[in-house]
Amino acid sequence: MPERGEPSLKELLSDPIVRQLMARDGTSERQVRSIALSVRRRMALERRLAVAAQIRPPSRPPRLGG
């Protein structure tokens, strides 16, 4: 989901400048959507891993004394 004020993927893909760049590079809408989906999945995984790292107990207890 786009952040507030950011265009959606649909809006980006309908932009004439974006379309010109896609045509120049030989990139299809399907490829762009696939990349966006991959990025969304990766970001979700990274968020889950970050949360898990925050709640995971230390691997060994801290040493007391000297």
Domain that holds residue 33: 9-55
In a domain, 47, yes or no: yes
pTM to 2 decimal places: 0.63
Answer yes or no: are the C-beta atoms of 28 and 22 closer than 8 Å: yes
- Domains held by the chain: number: 1
CA distance 20 to 3: 25
In a domain, 37, yes or no: yes
In a domain, 1, yes or no: no
Which pLDDT tens digit goes with each residue over 15-54? 999 999 999 999 999 999 999 999 999 999 999 988 888 8
Q: Which positions ≥6 away from 27 have C-beta within 8 Å?
A: 21
Alpha helices in the chain, H assignment, sequence order: 9-13, 16-25, 29-55
In a domain, 65, yes or no: no
Question: Confidence band (pLDDT; 50, 70, 90) for 65?
Answer: low
